[in-house]
Amino acid sequence: MPPIWHLEVGNALITAMRRKRITDADFDRSILALSALPIEIDATASLADVLAIARRFGLTSYDAAYLELAQRRGFPLATLDGKLRQACKALKVSVLP
């Protein structure tokens, strides 16, 4: 995962809790479950490469970071975002689901 993964997941959990979509207990369980996953952080992407993808496809730098990593490592990318799916297709990156 790109280094921003932890921040994005954390923000999603905080937002869900503030909007009362999850309880404090759900929040705590989620943190424990996520901490147990074997997530590998890959910080080797260059800013220039990420921004080139963002610029070319009109993506946020966050989405471009995931796409750059998927392309470089040969991984599929899971997204429902239409613009990101189109960029994946153009770069021959497999998309899930």
Are 23 and 29 a contacting pair, CB within 8 Å? no
| Cα 48 from chain centroid (whole Å) | 18
Tell me what pLDDT residue 7 has: 94
Predicted model pTM: 0.85
| CA 63 to each of CA 17, 26, 37, 67: distance values in angstroms, whole numbers, following the listed order | 24, 27, 22, 6
Q: Where are the domains of the chain?
A: 5-36, 47-96
Kindly state which CATH superfamily the domain 47-96 is placed in: 5'-nuclease (3.40.50.1010)
The tens digit of pLDDT for each residue in 40-87 reads 999 999 999 999 999 999 999 999 999 999 999 999 999 999 999 999
CA 21 vs CA 24, 32, 45: distances in Å: 10, 18, 34
